[in-house]
Amino acid sequence: MMNNVLLDIQNLSAGVTGKEIIKNFNLAIKEGEVHVIMGPNGAGKSTLSHVLTGKPGYEVTKGNISFKGKNLLEMSPEDRANEGLFLIMQYPVAIEGVSFMTFLKYALNAKRKYLGQTELSAPEFLKVIRDESIKLGISQEMLKRAVNVGFSGGEKKRMETLQMALLKPNLAILDEADSGLDIDALKIVASGINDLRDGKRALLIITHHQDLLEYIVPDFVHVFADGHIIKTGDKNLALELEAKGYTDFIKEAQC
């Protein structure tokens, strides 16, 4: 891996059921960087997150993706996660009959086993999850409930942030992580995300607006339309987008 590039996407085209959604997309994310992708509905932002994490049904028709110097496209979704790729989903799924405590213990120990580390015992795991859940205002009662069953939008995002805190990914993709959050929940989730920033771990934030960016300062903001990046800037670009919308940027790119 050269120049501490964590994720390198080159000339990526991808889609679903024969429809091309991502078109000649290029992006390089270095260790410690925070990148934000903003764009209108239907631009392909969530498709990008699905392609990166290996969701079934999405086909890459062209291009390459390197993660930590390895060919990401040759990895299974499970290996991508164990290698250090994590997704906070826009709509986290519910799993009946499986408690969050059990789910998190298996997820964490699966990654530790993959990395050749000793699996945590029950007491060791309880200490780790207790420390992390307190930071996010998550009660022990919530941890006993089935995964996302009956949870509010804010509760789901807190639990996703807890998963991220436990798994400590090299690159976390946040797909509309601020969706459905009130201001208090937004601050808590942002704090949990910022706790992971250590100069090595990177973030790719996918969002429609800049509310979350009041608490997480990005290094780069990218305007995403028609399947690829049409403009890149700093945090001020997000403010400009919030004020003006996407139309002018799209028209400018088409000229």
CATH code of 38's domain? 3.40.50.300
Distance (Å, rounded) from C-alpha 49 to C-alpha 221?
A: 16
Overall average pLDDT of the 103-124 stretch: 95
Q: Has this prediction a pTM greater than 0.85? A: yes
Bridge partner residues of 75 (DSSP): none
E strands along 17-88, which residues? 19-30, 34-38, 58-67, 70-71, 85-88
Range of the domain at 235: 34-54+76-254
Distance (Å, rounded) from C-alpha 90 to C-alpha 108?
A: 22
Q: Kindly report, residue by residue over 22-66, the tens digit of the pLDDT.
A: 999 999 999 999 999 998 877 788 899 999 999 999 999 999 999
Domain annotation covers residue 143? yes
Among candidates 61, 60, 96, 43, which has minimal Cα distance to 227? Answer: 43
Percent of the chain with pLDDT over 90: 58
At residue 255, the pLDDT reads 56
Residue 76 in 3-state DSSP? coil
Among candidates 102, 73, 100, 91, which has minimal Cα distance to 159? Answer: 100
Q: Which residues of 72-105 are buried (b: 16+ CB within 10 A; e: fewer)?
A: bbebeeeebbbbbbbbbbbebeeeeeebbbebbb
CA 23 to chain centre: 20
Q: How many domains does the chain have?
A: 1
Domain annotation covers residue 146? yes
For residue 8, what are the CA distances in angstroms to 12, 31, 191, 210? 10, 11, 27, 25
Q: Kindly report, residue by residue over 64-82, the tens digit of the pLDDT.
A: 999 999 999 999 999 999 9
Domain annotation covers residue 2? no
Domain annotation covers residue 212? yes
Domain annotation covers residue 3? no
Domain annotation covers residue 1? no
Domain annotation covers residue 117? yes
Among candidates 249, 243, 81, 253, which has minimal Cα distance to 173? Answer: 81
**Contact of 183 with 150, CB cutoff 8 Å:** no
**Contact of 63 with 12, CB cutoff 8 Å:** yes
At residue 121, the pLDDT reads 96
* Amino acid residing at 179: S
Domain annotation covers residue 249? yes
